[in-house]
Structure 1
Amino acid sequence: MSRVLAIVNQKGGVAKTTTCLSLGASLAEQGRRVLLVDLDPQMNLSVSAGVREPLDEGSIVDWLTRGLKEDGNHRSFMPLNLRPDGLALVSGDPELVALERQLPGMTRYEFGLRDALEDVAADYDYVLIDCSPSLGPLTVMALTAVHHVVIPVTADYLAAWGLVQLITTVEKIRERTNPILDYSLLCVMFDRRNGISHAMLERLRGSFGERLWHTVIGLDTRLREAAAAGEPIVCYAPKSRAAQQYRQLAQEMMAFFENQNGRGIYAATR
């Protein structure tokens, strides 16, 4: 049974892509089969994983086009294998901009990614979807395709305000297209030297309780270096603080999701 998660925040610069790649690689290190899906026209996830240009075949646009067609053949789709072993990628594509403009005019477009995942997801233990910094049609499609949303959030006042709109969107998607959708928060880019950061973290814990993961991801320049090198942090700097924190997050998530008695969107609908 595949656990399908989206990494979402309409605010840019909150480590969505870093979390998607670093968490995925950490899960793969633990022996899990992981598929990363780059659903952002900016291709940040793909570039951070070492894929600098859209693939001629097998990009996210190619895959979604198959999913949006009733006669689409998804089994022939082959994601790109990455390091470490067990990690694979559906690469991004700037053409997502044009596709997103067309989506609202398509019947049941919200289910396009879910349909594309139907046959592929079974080959993986985890599918992680990196979303663009917006709440547009692509993100709606992602929220319909997953059973859990991970919201990276920084420990500052303005970031906390932005959560209201995103959580409202999650609740609307739950009502309209995905009744089993759930969400959690992950504190990222945490500055341990800043007293305000500690105060905001405590406020987040007080407001969201168990929806906030215990693992906190701190500031670490090695994460930027890893992205520039086109490698996950656990491969680029395996002994760094960030690598250890994302490994801890992977352990925490495995303990949670793998004790849910088979709970997941693809298990629940079959």
Structure 2
Amino acid sequence: MQVWSIANQKGGVGKTTTVVSLGALLAEQGHRVLLLDLDPQGSLTSYFGFNPDEIEQSAFDLFMHPGQPSAQLHADIIVATSVPGMKMIPASTALATLERNISQQDGMGLIVSKTLATLWDDFDYALIDTPPLLGFLLINSLAACKKLLVPVQTEFLALKGLERMVHTIQMVTRSQRRELDYLVIPTMFDRRTQASIKSLKTLKVQHQGHIWDLAIPVDTKLRDASRAGKAISQVDGASRGARAYGSLLKTLGQSR
């Protein structure tokens, strides 16, 4: 199983869209894909029509039963999505309580790693959607992944937020004594605006060697797909957004 975390400590940069779009493309290629929603806001969970405030079993249960990574527990938690071949462990808003209640217990930073280890033969890819802040859940996702994708909106404030994320990556690298393979993904790029063009140029200069050569463009079809609870490739595979995510997946495949 390949494990990718999609993270940024700033919200609204396209994390969930990236998780869904890449996951769906992988599933369409015949891969078995698992999405894991670790964000208490539950954007990924809501994307596929589940209510994070009401869902009975979710990623929260993984942390409540850390010594029981049982097949039955996972079977109860994993749900289908609208994309054939792609399943999901949804989030509940109760995830927000973990930081206060159990984050200091020994071994809790490896719960996601241990969970995915028990599912290793059941899926080819696991994509993790993370909360937009440094904490227990984000650290869990970084400890579990082999590749980190960092979507960054091409606007000035998002660039400042990226600095915090890079600092976190460096911190995790030091603590785990391993290099964390990461790729910055420019998103919401609008070639009609100077602000977007200048931000993209700045990103490429400041993050040379860790940035995707292209960018995910502004595309209303991405919003249409979200509203329909489907992936962009299901709604319009020829759209600019779908083609961009297809290009990104090819880049990720070449860098494995």
Regarding TM over 0.5, the answer is: yes
**Corresponding residue of 2:137:** 138
Query: Are the aligned partners of 1:51 and 1:230 in contact in 2 as well (CA < 8 Å)?
Result: no
Structure 1: which 5+ residue stretches go unaligned? 258-270
**Corresponding residue of 1:236:** 235
Query: Are the aligned partners of 1:61 and 1:96 in contact in 2 as well (CA < 8 Å)?
Result: yes
Offset at residue 180 of structure 1 (A)? 4.0
**Corresponding residue of 1:16:** 15
**Corresponding residue of 1:96:** 95
Query: Are the aligned partners of 2:59 and 2:89 in contact in 1 as well (CA < 8 Å)?
Result: yes
Asked if residue 74 in structure 1 is aligned to residue 73 in structure 2, the reply is no
Q: 1:97 to 1:177 in 2, by over 3 A?
A: same
Offset at residue 143 of structure 1 (A)? 1.0
Offset at residue 27 of structure 1 (A)? 1.5
Moved over 4 A (4+): none
Distance 2:207 2:49 in 1: 35
Identity of aligned residues (%): 34
**Corresponding residue of 1:262:** none
Asked if residue 209 in structure 1 is aligned to residue 205 in structure 2, the reply is no
**Corresponding residue of 2:32:** 33
**Corresponding residue of 1:56:** 56
Query: Are the aligned partners of 1:153 and 1:185 in contact in 2 as well (CA < 8 Å)?
Result: yes
Offset at residue 215 of structure 1 (A)? 3.3
Q: Which amino acid aligns with 2:147?
A: H
Distance 1:97 1:178 in 2: 28
**Corresponding residue of 1:192:** 191
Query: Are the aligned partners of 1:144 and 1:178 in contact in 2 as well (CA < 8 Å)?
Result: no
Offset at residue 184 of structure 1 (A)? 1.2
Q: Which amino acid aligns with 2:107?
A: R
Query: Are the aligned partners of 1:6 and 1:131 in contact in 2 as well (CA < 8 Å)?
Result: yes
Asked if residue 148 in structure 1 is aligned to residue 147 in structure 2, the reply is yes
Q: Which amino acid aligns with 2:56?
A: D
Q: 1:99 to 1:178 in 2, by over 3 A?
A: farther
Query: Are the aligned partners of 2:47 and 2:226 in contact in 1 as well (CA < 8 Å)?
Result: yes
Q: Which amino acid aligns with 1:173?
A: V
Distance 1:73 1:204 in 2: 41
Q: Which amino acid aligns with 1:56?
A: E
Alpha-carbon RMSD across the aligned residues, in angstroms, is: 1.8
Asked if residue 220 in structure 1 is aligned to residue 216 in structure 2, the reply is no
**Corresponding residue of 1:44:** 43
TM-score computed with the length of structure 1 as normaliser:
0.87
* Range that drifts further, 157-166 or 110-119: 157-166
Distance 2:251 2:70 in 1: 32
* Range that drifts further, 86-95 or 195-204: 195-204
**Residue 210 of structure 1: SS of its match in structure 2?**
coil
Kindly provide the CA deviation profile for residues 153-201 of structure 1, in whole angstroms up to 9, marking residues without a partner as x. 1222222222222111111112223624221100000011012322221
**Residue 252 of structure 1: SS of its match in structure 2?**
helix
Distance 2:188 2:132 in 1: 17
**Residue 211 of structure 1: SS of its match in structure 2?**
coil
**Residue 123 of structure 1: SS of its match in structure 2?**
coil
**Corresponding residue of 1:175:** 174
Structure 2: which 5+ residue stretches go unaligned? none
Distance 1:14 1:61 in 2: 24
Distance 2:210 2:128 in 1: 19
Offset at residue 121 of structure 1 (A)? 3.1
Q: Which amino acid aligns with 1:80?
A: V
